[in-house]
Structures are given as C-alpha cells and as structure tokens.
Amino acid sequence: MITRTTHHLKSLRVTQETEILITSRPADQMNAAQLQVFRRGHWTIENPIHYVRDVTFGEDQSTVRTGHAPQNLATLRNLVIGLCGLDAARQHQPTSYLPRFRAAARNHRQLAIDLLARPLLNGC
C-alpha cells in the first residue's frame, strides 16, 4: 500500500491518496524498492500510449458515447497509430512523426489515403 500526501499551494488544501498494489509474488520475496520499480515500470509503458491517444487524438474530449462507436473509433485510432509508427520506422523518422503526419493530413487528405494504401511489407 502506498500513501501519497499532496499539499496544494494555491488552495492551501492537503489531500491524501492511498494506492493498493496487488502482485502474485509473495511478500517475503519483494521489498518496497522492488515493488516501486515494478509499479513505475507499468507506467513507462502506459504513459506513451495514453499520451498519443489523449493529446494527439483528443480522445478524452470525444463526445461519442453510444453503441459501438467508441470502440470503433478507438480501433481506428490504434490503426492510425500503428500505421504511422510503421511508416515512420520505414522512413527512419523519430517517434514524434505521428503529430506531424496528423497535422499534414488535416490539410492534405491524400496523405492519409496514401498511408492506408501502402503495402505493409516492403516486398509486397
């Protein structure tokens, strides 16, 4: 269990959060430092994925809530993220390729169509 205390300087409030961690490893085989490494390791994977979806695609601001539309849009976002990552790797571009591509494709729709039309493998 991790307890965090936050002092909010503007409002002069103090809040406290408790995080409960669950692991399959027995307590006698893991100390607090090891548990913290595993906990932080999870977020090194989670944060980049959520950042792309939330900041680049504005997923949190989406007002789509009915039927299968949220899942369908998430699938399309994942497809674009994957295709842009694949295309960036082919072109030896840095990981910041996606925001630049999205901005360019907003003005030139043919860029997005070309990305979808490219073969997945070089030999195809």
Q: How far apart are CA 74 and CA 79, in angstroms?
A: 9
61: exposed, middle or buried (C-beta count within 10 Å: 0-12, 13-18, 19+)?
A: exposed
Please say whether the beta carbons of 87 and 97 come within 8 A.
Answer: yes
Q: What is the pTM of this model?
A: 0.54
Bridge partners (DSSP) listed for residue 13 = 8
Please say whether the beta carbons of 59 and 77 come within 8 A.
Answer: yes
Per-residue model confidence as pLDDT tens for the chain (124 residues): 889 999 999 899 999 999 888 888 888 888 889 888 888 887 776 777 778 888 777 888 889 999 999 999 888 888 888 887 777 777 777 665 677 777 777 777 787 778 778 776 654 4
Chain centroid to CA 111: how far?
A: 23
Which residues have C-beta within 8 Å of that of residue 115, sequence separation ≥ 6? 80, 83, 84, 87, 101, 105
